[in-house]
Amino acid sequence: KAGVTQTPRYLIKTRGQQVTLSCSPISGHRSVSWYQQTPGQGLQFLFEYFSETQRNKGNFPGRFSGRQFSNSRSEMNVSTLELGDSALYLCASSVTGVGTEAFFGQGTRLTVV
């Protein structure tokens, strides 16, 4: 069974640009969550989607947005990039989200210069 797939694995962007990250969940999983991991803050919750609807959102500015498609694949977008957005962005999928195990992808390493 294929795991969670995130693309691309690495990205280098310039301040002010925007970026889109992609996540394909495990087959049959309908919940996709996004997390930001930095050395200083650790893993922080960005948002969660289930059946194309955002169910929960973390404390991040509106520059961070996402969406989910009918096949459960999800994308995350960051607009007007700042240096502080440099991080490992992780996607996790689970069957329903609530009360079920969450499995992570390998992440997308974003560097903003």
Partner 1 sequence: QKEVEQDPGPLSVPEGAIVSLNCTYSNSAFQYFMWYRQYSRKGPELLMYTYSSGNKEDGRFTAQVDKSSKYISLFIRDSQPSDSATYLCAMRRGGSEKLVFGKGTKLTVNP
Residues near partner 1, by CB under 8 A = 4, 6, 31, 33, 35, 42-45, 48, 50, 55-56, 58, 90, 92, 94, 97-99, 101-107, 109
Other beta carbons within 10 Å of 90: 21
- Least distance from C-beta 4 to partner 1, angstroms? 8
- Least distance from C-beta 45 to partner 1, angstroms? 5
- Least distance from C-beta 16 to partner 1, angstroms? 27
| CA angle in degrees (0–180, nearest 5) for 79-83-84 | 90
Q: Which are the contacts of 101, defined by CB distance < 8 A and separation ≥ 6?
A: 94, 95
